[in-house]
Chains A and B, each alone.
Chain A
Amino acid sequence: MENWKFALSSVLGHKMRSFLTMLGIIIGVASVVVIMALGQGMAAQVTSMFSADRQDIQIYYVSKDSEDDQGASLFGLLSSSDTGPKIQEEWLKEIVKTVPGTESYYITNSTTSTVSLDKKKADNVNITGVNSTYFDVKKFKILAGRSFRATDYTQFARIIMLDTKLAQKLFGDNDSALNRQVSVGSKSYLVVGVYEDPNAGSAFYGMGSEGNAIMTNTQLAAEFGTDEAGAVYIHVEDVKDSTAISDQAASEMTRLSGVKTGEYTTYDMSKDIEEINSAYSIMTTVIGAIAGISLLVGGIGVMNIMLVSVTERTREIGLRKALGATRRNILTQFLIESMVLTLLGGLIGLGLAFAVTAALDGSIESIKPAISIKVALGSLAFSALIGMIFGILPASKASKLDPIEALRYE
């Protein structure tokens, strides 16, 4: 106990010197903790991003002869040529009714096209054709105008909704887009609404595109010659049940369709999440380890200053030995002092890391850096360990001093 108190007062006795010595530890701890926090933030973001997607299970058809492609990636599936029987909306209604945990369904098809207003145009707009239940599931924010009505589908109305990014690009603001005509492909469409997608900005939406737009799936099929049901989704209540419900819903779909040449299946994203997260964690560990090198450099600085301290305090060591201190007493005293030095550095570094993560929060797109208790305590324990390791040499030098020489030392 005396050792800790004395070590603290001796470290605080040379504030400037102690601070400069600690600087390496401070920077090392701060950078490792911030990197860890960013890594965890990224992993958390991937999980939450996917969980929004995983709440909507896509059911798709796989023909028996393409079973070799079963291991294909999410992206590879999109190029499947045998699309199976024409999907009936009644099947989906039946699945929602019979499979517990399912809440709703929706149907989409999609294309990419140029949307233009007079001379202004937006390229690579992702146009999604949606059925009437789509808006119940997606819960978009309607910023101006309205979403689609049942009559829009029966009348094959040529109407379109723009997302706010696209509306602002073409019209300047949301409201002035309403009831204006924009050209899509060869025809013109009436803008009935402007919306905001809460998931916009995440990787799977609008990458490289100049905006998103929504049409009825029936009109999009007619205009661009695609299937009305390009993709069908079952919406589940709780994302935790996704994997179980996926299998049930897919086999129910196969049963309802009565298809013999293939089957309906779903894609389980949990493996992708795991893979992405493990890639992030490897990356975090590697970068963290590189940042950790500065901790070693800091440790060398601590060793250096402790050697100076031992030399300066030769007489103190001699006196303590004369008064009955054993080698072990002296060794412990200097080890503790070196640990107090690095532990203080670790604490300051941790404080700095909290400040940096707070400042970074929100500044990098939707990544929320998070310092876990495990990382915080681990970084403190590691700084103490650094102090102990690099304190061994100076402390053992101190403990071996000859008391007579030490007392005579000027």
Chain B
Amino acid sequence: MTDGKKVLIQLDNIVKSYRNGDQELQVLKGIDLTVEEGEFLAIMGPSGSGKSTLMNIIGLLDRPTSGDYYLNGTHVSELNDKELAKVRNQEIGFVFQQFFLLSKLSAWQNVEIPLIYAGLGVSKRRQLAQQFLEKVELSERMNHLPSELSGGQKQRVAIARALVNNPFIILADEPTGALDTKTGEQIMELLTELNREGKTIIMVTHEPEIADYARRKIVIRDGEITKDTTESVRIE
């Protein structure tokens, strides 16, 4: 696995459990996972397997019950909420199944949100938002509201938003789940292109065809990684 590339994510014995009355439910039972820079990883598994919980922990939206998480060399388990917000803002870009665009804001205003929290000025924000909308081929829709965009266009706006702060990692949670097959393929091609340019992409999906875009697949069952395969040559 180690071919000299930088390790971006290192999970050591990550456990997540929920207490329900006097019962303890273990959702993740000691996950060990290492992701290197430039990987395209698909996390698969049936619903209830714990893949979403793993995704939330990787995305710093949730904290593990025990275990260590190193992101880009930082021991993030030790960070407080404010520091976690900063890491989310700077180093992680989220893409959601339901897009989660704010309906009252135009496309570019949605894209600039992470930059607001990064503390950039308005002209710089507008310029970057425009630049990344161009990258997802939506520059002429800059001033459109989400309601005036198709599903595929919405997801591309969301991808522009995930990219705008130039993060190390894109976390995509069922990015094609709300799209038809053809649009889904276009979105996957966009993500593949981003990966080719060097972005590390971690994607949760339950669709094998979608997972096929990734070079490495892991399967989670009952809170444990049951399969971890890497294709030596990507099938174009």
Contact = CB atoms under 8 A, between A and B. Distances in A.
Contacts of B113: 320, 323
Nearest to B173: A407
Contact of A324 (B56, B102, B105, B118): B118
A1 B125 CA distance: 13
Contact of A9 (B85, B96, B104, B161): B104
Residue among B114, B118, B122 with the highest chain A CB neighbour number at 10 A: B114
A2 B85 CA distance: 19
A323 B122 contact: no
Contacts of A404: 56, 61-62
Nearest to B86: A324
B104 A324 contact: no
Interface in A313-335: 315-316, 319-329
A10 interface: yes
Contacts of A321: 61, 85, 88
Nearest to A9: B104
Interface in A53-110: none
B18 interface: no
Contacts of B33: none
The range of chain B's interface size is 20 to 34
A6 to B, nearest CB: 8
B59 interface: yes
A13 interface: yes
Interface residues of A, number: 22
A313 to B, nearest CB: 9
A177 to B, nearest CB: 75
A323 B88 contact: yes
B22 interface: no
A322 B55 CA distance: 12
A39 B85 CA distance: 53
Given A324-B86, A326-B82, A326-B85, A319 B100 contact: yes
Interface string B84-97: 01101110001010
Given A315-B100, A320-B113, A322-B94, A403 B61 contact: yes
